[in-house]
């Protein structure tokens, strides 16, 4: 499991590059996206798609290939495999078969967003992407009384709506921080109350990957 840069191509470890150079082939979400990253470091390895739409179909075959001696790397478009990205099914299958899995340390979007938020980091709950419809109300009702710092991923198209939902369930004065375009040229970290941050993004066009950090209930 090899983390890849969030945006800045320099944010990759030497060990990650060595592993990608050494494996038999590389699993990736989007071959076009991964080709740009790999070409930057002159890594020429066969690529095979591995994403949420095909992972159930190919996981057993991949485990069999590893059993047969193949050395495979799994990368995502950005960040660490398994964190709101495919990887869990393959790791679980390898664990069942007692196959060796190594997960390298590296880029994960919620870590810099959490540290940069100015909100307590000693205890936090990573919730990833919220359900779009079914289960959303139930989950937000439960999280309204959560005392730990809450961390979410969100798309730019749904950011303002999600912040409005947070205001409804958590209260308008709850401190929060929204980070977008982390490590890139137009990185932005907006801090304030939920109402202030909502109003900030409501008046502009939002682009980039989003991490929302919300302080827990006092």
Average pLDDT value over all residues in the chain: 96
142-165 tens-digit pLDDT:
999 999 999 999 999 999 999 999
Q: Which helix (H) or strand (E) holds 210?
A: strand 210-214
Sorted by where each begins, the domain ranges of the chain are: 14-96, 110-214
| Tens-digit pLDDT profile for residues 122-147 | 999 999 999 999 999 999 999 999 99
What pLDDT was estimated at residue 171? 98
Give the class (CATH, top level) of 14-96.
Answer: alpha beta
CATH 3.30.70.1140 fits 110-214, yes or no: no
Give the burial class of 181: count Cβ atoms within 10 A of its Cβ; 0-12 exposed, 13-18 middle, 19 or more buried: middle
> Are residues 211 and 178 in contact, defined by beta-carbon separation less than 8 angstroms?
yes
- Could you tell me if 153 and 109 are in contact, meaning their C-beta atoms sit under 8 angstroms apart? yes
**CA dist list (Å): 145 to 137, 139, 150, 189, 207:** 14, 11, 11, 25, 30
At 40-86, the pLDDT tens digits run 999 999 999 999 999 999 999 999 999 999 999 999 999 999 999 99
pLDDT tens digits, residue range 11-33? 999 999 999 999 999 999 999 99
């Amino acid at each position: 499991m090899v983390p890849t840069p969030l945006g800045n191509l320099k944010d990759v470890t030497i060990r990650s590059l060595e592993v990608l150079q050494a494996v038999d082939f590389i699993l990736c979400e989007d071959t076009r996206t991964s080709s740009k990253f790999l070409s930057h470091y002159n890594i020429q390895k066969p690529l095979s798609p591995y994403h949420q739409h095909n992972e159930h179909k190919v996981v057993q075959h991949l485990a069999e290939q590893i059993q047969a001696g193949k050395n495979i790397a799994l990368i995502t478009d950005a960040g660490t495999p398994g964190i709101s990205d495919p990887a869990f099914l393959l790791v679980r299958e390898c664990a069942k078969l007692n196959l060796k899995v190594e997960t390298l340390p590296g880029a994960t979007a919620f870590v810099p967003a959490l540290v940069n938020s100015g909100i307590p980091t000693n205890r936090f709950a990573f919730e990833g992407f919220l359900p779009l419809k079914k289960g959303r109300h139930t989950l937000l009702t439960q999280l309204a009384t959560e005392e730990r710092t809450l961390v979410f991923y969100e798309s730019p198209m749904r950011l303002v709506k999600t912040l409005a939902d947070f205001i409804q369930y958590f209260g308008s004065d709850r401190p929060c921080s929204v980070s977008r375009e982390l490590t890139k040229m137009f990185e932005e970290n907006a801090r304030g109350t939920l109402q202030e941050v909502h109003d900030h993004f409501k008046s502009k066009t939002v682009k980039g990957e989003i991490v929302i950090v919300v302080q827990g209930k006092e």
